A and B are shown apart, each in its own frame.
Chain A
Amino acid sequence: MFGFGLAFVGAMVLLELFLRLSGAGTPSFVISDPRLGVAFRPGANFVFFTEGMYLGGVNKYGYLGPAYPPKKESGVLRVALLGDSFIEGFQLFDRFHLRTVLENELNRMGPRHAEVMNFGYSGFDLGLMYYHFTEVVEKFSPDVALFFVGQDDMAENGEGFGPIFSAVNDSVRVDLSFAQSARYKRSMKLRLVHRLALYSMARNVYLRVQEGGAPGILLGKVYDWFHPGARKETPEPVGGKDNFWPLNKAIFDALAVENRSGKIRIAVVEKRPISAAYREYIRSVGIPVYDLQPVFDALKQRGIRYNYWPGSGSIGHWNFNAHEAIGEYLAPLVNELAPPPGKPGDAKQ
């Protein structure tokens, strides 16, 4: 039995090493955080495959892209990008991400040196974006913050393992009780185990089982024969979820206050269409809304499918062409929006 155990453990250690070095397995690059729920692990370096391929990591400050420190150099234009997996962009290298394209374009336009920071995080809804903005992003003194949202982000996306937001008297209330939960405490105890690639693989299996995917994976077509259509994905709900309106309204009101302060300019970018009611309200409180649909339409006219990934043959997040086009599209808008150099209070209207 000892020999068996020794061989098993030895082989598992070698496999862990192989997975890490080859990128065949990715150790968890997120950590549990008592304030944020989950956050990127600073300094994590990994390979990630979804529709595309990502190679890179989290910088030492805990966000994606180059490590710009919290203290901003004078004369620098800082732009923060907030959003979900579309902004996180784990489908392509940072050098193709709209962050880089936007930064390069802004630097080309001048006159100020631009630093664009990627605060995207998979699964972020508007509430989490806003909370992340107030808790993390503002510490980096951005001049401009772009919130990439779609109607789906107006509803709560989270798994209930993080802050819970509600609107109380037209302001945003944050409930951090998750940090007292047994699940959170368990995850804190296991935080070293989380850093194993093998654990990540096992967790993915667990999640697939939890989602009910096991019969389909195990039985393949045989499962489909007896459950026709069972594995079809349910379409995303279209339109707003009215019960989130008070919360979202409170968030946009709070962002509008920030906007009026003159320290920072905030804009909403429609990564997917949002309802007319939302758009009108956001504009009414003085926050510009940039629609990306014309960018996608222009790509379509050129025969480019903006969300098709030939490497995996799948359709999903924005591809190389889309990131490039979005970055180029946003650059003049951001330049226009940004406060003039040296006059943080004189933002253009």
Chain B
Amino acid sequence: MLFNSFIFIIFLCVVVPLALWLPRRPRNVFLLIASYFFYGYWDWRFLSLLFVSTIIDYVAARAIAATDDPRRRKRFLLLSLASNLGLLGTFKYFNFFVDSFARVAAHFGTNLDFLHLNIILPVGISFYTFQTLSYTIDVYRGKMAPTRNLLNFALYVAFFPQLVAGPIERAIHLLPQVENMRRPSRADLSEGMALITVGMFRKVIIGDTCGRYVDHIFSGPTYYSSSELLSALLLFSLQIYADFSGYSSIARGTARLLGVDLMENFNQPYLAANITEFWRRWHISLSTWLRDYLYIPLGGNRKGPKRTYVNLFATMLLGGLWHGANWTFVFWGGLHGGYLAVHKFMLKARKPDERLNYTGLASLLTFVAKVTGTYLIVLLAWLFFRSRDFTTAFYILKKIVAWSPGGFSARFAVIVLTYSVANLVLDLSEYVTRDHAFPLRTAPRFRWGIYLAAWTIIFMYMFQAKPMPFIYFQF
């Protein structure tokens, strides 16, 4: 079920009041059923994967906690890792590796195309796999005790607001909330409403409308001029941000309506003054997951500078692969790994700046220059992220560098500028108020007028256009 569809809004209008009305225990049962309906609405067959993942991690975590024997504990951890990563590997990466291997084999005259499997990527598998993995690993590390209640654990895995595209919640944060599900306060409901409104606006009005330009231009780059290709790339950077941060806001807002607090996933990443800070602000739930379960176990920064750079690079390379089974994603991750390593080298022991510390015009200009520089290197990486293959990516890059303006340069400049300003207004509102539910900072009478206008246009757009899936659903 897509958040940007009417059926989701109807679903929400049924589920939220019923969940509020039910006592705690039946409420969790009801929310679990609702979550399975939410997931099964897309394709009920893949519910089986969710069940398998839930049962294995529930059992594995209990078995880990039940013994002090390190070998036995490790065996159950490996069971969890192997089964989760096995599912992910089969459904997401099998064809990728097989096809890559087949291409190499074809150079030596061997045809291995028959190895390709005709399988569909289950929506959200990368998200819930990482979520359940973090639970078993945290239990193994002794950071938390396993839950005894299978129902609560199943709800933790399948909780519909964050099931298919995150935030990738840690059990240590979400599971206690599920176990002691509280009734939402008035403040929760207000905040939930504000987050959903902002999220829907970002997703539907900015992300989806931006995406139409991007999809058309990227599907036939040979037809477009340098300025049009550059515009498409700039618009993609806005689309993916609006799309994903919008989704995260809707997820957080929806959870808040049920009395659950999900972690922040975005924090105005395009206002980051350096690449390290960018990754502290972009897809926070994934970057912290990679830090805690990959970068630190690899040695983090504890084994000297050279090893730190290698660890950063390797972590981001795998982070790239997590995004999609394509070498362009790996390259995207590698680019970011390289950026981070270089920045780490430049920083030495210093801590990167986080926010603008205004001490005069010079400080503001320096900040703007840093933000622009960071954005540009992120933009370059987005080119590889969005292109279907390297040939397309390098074709676009070459054409942009060789610059020849087309007939619509001025019109596209206005389009890009308009989207940028819209995005910036929302980001600055969050940045200045330090609050994602910033509409709550306005007086209620103004707020409800703005809500009504926003929802009018959101509904009108949803009614006339086919809902665009969230970009991150494919991951």
- Say whether B453 contacts A22, CB under 8 Å: no
A179-202 interface (Cβ within 8 A of B): 198, 201-202
Render A1-22 as a binary contact track against B, CB cut-off 8 A, 1 for contact. 1011111111110010011011
Q: What is the interface residue range for chain A against chain B?
A: 35 or more
Q: Does A310 contact B (CB under 8 A)?
A: yes
Nearest CB of chain B from residue A208's CB, rounded to whole Å: 6
State A7–B442 Cα separation when bound (angstroms).
11
B447 in contact with A7 (CB, 8 Å):
yes
Complex interface residues of chain B between 381 and 427 (CB less than 8 A to chain A) = 407-408, 411, 414-415, 417-419, 422
Q: Is the CB of A93 within 8 A of B407?
A: yes
Cβ contact within 8 Å between B418 and A93 = no
Bound form: Cα–Cα A201–B216 in Å = 21
Residues of B within 8 A of A333 (CB): none
Distance in angstroms from B37 CB to nearest chain A CB is 10
Q: Which residues of B contact A55 (CB under 8 A)?
A: 408, 411
Given contacts A93-B408, A208-B464, A217-B463, contact A15 B453 (CB under 8 A): yes
Contact segment of A142-150, A218-226, A281-289? A218-226
Contact B450 A8 (CB under 8 A): yes
Contact B453 A12 (CB under 8 A): yes
Contacts of B5 in A (CB 8 A): 220
Question: Is the pair A96, B216 in contact by a Cβ cutoff of 8 Å?
Answer: no
Are the CB atoms of A4 and B220 closer together than 8 Å? Answer: no
Pairwise interchain contact B453-A8, C-beta atoms closer than 8 A? yes
Instruction: Give the distance in Å from the alpha carbon of A45 to the alpha carbon of B415 in the complex.
Output: 13
Within 8 A of B (CB), among A28-74: 45, 47, 49, 52-53, 55
B window 308-362: CB within 8 A of A: none
CB of B41 closer than 8 Å to a CB of A: yes
Give the residue of A24, A220, A311 whose beta carbon is less than 8 angstroms from that of B7: A220
Q: Which of B10, B216, B219 counts the most chain A CB atoms within 10 A?
A: B216
Contact residue among B7, B216, B445 (Cβ-Cβ distance under 8 Å from A4):
B445
Known: A22-B209, A24-B209, A198-B457. A311 touches B216 (CB 8 A): yes
State whether A222 and B212 are in contact (beta carbons under 8 Å apart), knowing that A8-B453, A205-B460, A311-B219 are contacts in the complex. no
Range, interface on chain B: 35 or more
Asked whether any CB of chain A lies closer than 8 Å to the CB of B240, the reply is no
The answer to whether the Cβ of B448 comes within 8 Å of any Cβ in the partner chain is yes
Q: Which of A240-295 contact B (CB under 8 A)?
A: none
* Residue of A with least CB distance to B467: A220
Kindly count the residue-residue contacts between A and B in the assembled complex, taking CB atoms under 8 Å apart. 113
Q: Is A177 an interface residue (CB 8 A)?
A: no
Task: Across the interface, name the chain A residue whose C-beta is closest to B406.
Answer: A95
Query: Once the chains bind, are B216 and A312 in contact (CB under 8 Å)?
Result: yes
Give chain B nearest CB distance to A144 CB in angstroms.
26
Is residue A122 within 8 Å, beta carbon to beta carbon, of the partner chain?
no
The answer to whether A15 touches B457 (Cβ under 8 A) is yes
Question: Min CB distance, A210 to chain B, in Å?
Answer: 12
> In chain B, residues 140-173, which have Cβ atoms closer than 8 Å to a Cβ of chain A?
none
Would you give the shortest CB distance from B290 to chain A, in whole angstroms? Answer: 32
**Distance between A65 CB and nearest chain B CB, rounded to angstroms:** 12
Query: Are A22 and B445 in contact (CB-based, < 8 A)?
Result: no
Contact pick for A53, options B212, B417, B452, CB 8 Å: B212
Q: Is B304 engaged at the interface, CB distance under 8 Å to the other chain?
A: no
**Which residue of the partner chain A has the closest CB to B8?**
A220
- Does the CB pair A222–B446 fall under 8 Å? no
Does the CB pair A218–B6 fall under 8 Å? yes
Q: Does B438 contact A (CB under 8 A)?
A: no
The B79-138 residues at the A interface (CB cut-off 8 A) are none
Instruction: Provide the residues of chain A in CB contact with B218, threshold 8 Å.
Output: 311
A4: min CB distance to chain B, Å = 4
**With A6-B449, A49-B212 known to touch, is A18 a contact of B415 (CB < 8 Å)?**
no
Q: How far is the CA of A221 from the CA of B5 in the complex (A)?
A: 11
Closest to A12 in B: B453
> Cβ of A21: which chain B residues have Cβ within 8 Å of it?
414-415, 417-418
**A8 and B452 within 8 A (CB):** yes
Q: Is A134 an interface residue (CB 8 A)?
A: no
Contact call A219/B223, Cβ cutoff below 8 A: no
Q: Mask for B199-221, Cβ within 8 A of A = 1, else 0?
A: 00000010001001101111110
Q: Told that A204-B463, A320-B220 touch, could you supply 20 new A-B pairs with CB distance under 8 A?
A: A3-B443, A4-B446, A7-B446, A10-B449, A15-B454, A21-B414, A21-B417, A21-B418, A22-B209, A22-B415, A23-B415, A24-B205, A198-B457, A219-B6, A220-B1, A220-B7, A310-B219, A311-B216, A311-B220, A312-B215
Q: Which residues of A are interface residues toward B (Cβ below 8 A)?
A: 1, 3-12, 15, 18-19, 21-24, 45, 47, 49, 52-53, 55, 93, 95-96, 198, 201-202, 204-205, 208, 217-222, 309-312, 320
5 contacts between A and B (CB under 8 A): A4-B448, A49-B212, A204-B460, A219-B7, A220-B7
Give B residues with C-beta under 8 Å from A: 1, 5-7, 10, 41, 205, 209, 212-213, 215-220, 223, 407-408, 411, 414-415, 417-419, 422, 443, 445-450, 452-454, 456-457, 460-464
